Structure 1
Amino acid sequence: MSLTIFEQLTALLDKNHASYRVMKHPTAGRSEEVAKIRGTQLGQGAKGLVCHIKGNGVKQHVLAILPADKQADLSKLAHQIGGTRASLASPKEVDDLTQCVFGAIPPFSFHPALKLVADPLLFERFDELAFNAGTLERSIILNTQDYKRIAQPELISFIRDEETQQ
């Protein structure tokens, strides 16, 4: 199931002449663990959260991408999209919308009902982004500007303020 997402990803990246590499590795449950295995900085990780945005007539599923060393402010995300509240999607919804398990979601949306957004900080600190590629055993390390050009996420600031991250 998830291998299909991996194949879609690599086909998309190849078609768009992206600079990337694939890394096979043991399953790692947390962003810190997988960054060590990959040999990348934690902030290079592109973490994806599947969320529901509701309120003000808005009912939208969103794939929100942010650096792995930061936390999302779901309230800020909801307001930026025009809703009043946001929550994380259920495991079933995540599977239906991404064909991936939690932790393996790449920063690309292949489902028409899943809006792709990214926090601008993702593009400001590192030349390469790293992410699980539809499976917990494979990562892609991709040129940051190639990601931005190919995925074309809507840029929305939704990182939780530093003082509230502790």
Structure 2
Amino acid sequence: MPTHDDHAHDTYERLISLLDSSSVAYELIDHEPEGGTEAVCALRGHPASEAAKCIVLRVKVDRRTTRNVLAVVPGDRRVDLDAVRTLYAARYAGFSDAATAERLARSVPGTVLPFSFDADLEVVADPDVVSRPRLYFNAARLDRSLVISGADYARLAEPRVERIASPAAV
């Protein structure tokens, strides 16, 4: 049976081959193992606003329909659950349980990519993510990150782009 490390390795390899096959400019950064947004931003040396924070959500549209959504917001902001609920005209939007999030994202918390390699996981990214000249995120590993332009990210991941981040704290 594959372990979490195997899944993470497969997800990492899949990401790199996607980037290489699409001839997108990207940069890899090796660092101490870290999954917390603030801490990993400090290790990588950039403001949290340039990080992609990726959270798997459970959206109950009605009694029979539940959708899994990968919300991608700037690292210094939170996912606005009300905005996500409204977007899907849903009864409920909340955080997915860890096991489901790991299965759908194919990586452990703290290493979730802003990409989906699972048909059951839809990607919704805030416009402030795709507009970044440089976008940083953990590359399905705690010890390696990736930098790509927001525009290239949008072209490759093809997220639904909607305002889903809470306003930045003043």
Letter in 2 for 1:12: L
Q: How far apart are the structure 2 equivalents of 1:110 and 1:104?
A: 14
- CA contact 1:58–1:83 (8 Å) conserved in 2: no
Aligned length: 163
Look up the match of 1:130: 136
User: After superposition, where does 1:127-166 map in structure 2 within 5 Å?
Assistant: 127-162=133-168
Deviation per residue, 1:23-61 (Å, 9 max, x gap):
111112421111111122211100100000003354100
Q: How far apart are the structure 2 equivalents of 1:65 and 1:127?
A: 16
Letter in 1 for 2:110: G
Letter in 2 for 1:37: L
Look up the match of 1:4: 10
Look up the match of 1:114: 121
Structure 1 pair 108–29 and aligned structure 2 pair: CA distance change class (3 A): closer
- CA contact 1:75–1:84 (8 Å) conserved in 2: no
* Pairing partner for 1:17 from 8, 23, 43: 23
- CA contact 2:77–2:167 (8 Å) conserved in 1: no
Q: How far apart are the structure 1 equivalents of 2:130 and 2:140?
A: 21
Kindly state the Cα deviation for residue 147 of structure 1 after the two structures are TM-superposed. 0.5
Look up the match of 1:80: 87
TM-score normalised per structure 1: 0.92
Kindly state the Cα deviation for residue 73 of structure 1 after the two structures are TM-superposed. 1.1
Kindly state the Cα deviation for residue 123 of structure 1 after the two structures are TM-superposed. 2.5
User: After superposition, where does 1:34-113 map in structure 2 within 5 Å?
Assistant: 34-56=40-62, 58-113=65-120
| Structure 2 unaligned residues grouped into runs of 5+ | 1-5
**Identical pairs, percent:** 29
Letter in 1 for 2:157: A
Other structure's SS at 2:163 match: coil
Which one is further off, 86-95 or 56-65? 56-65
Deviation per residue, 1:127-157 (Å, 9 max, x gap):
1100001111110011221111111100111
Q: How far apart are the structure 1 equivalents of 2:17 and 2:33?
A: 23
Q: What is the CA RMSD across the aligned residues, in angstroms?
A: 1.5
Q: How far apart are the structure 1 equivalents of 2:128 and 2:97?
A: 26
| Structure 1 unaligned residues grouped into runs of 5+ | none
Other structure's SS at 1:136 match: coil
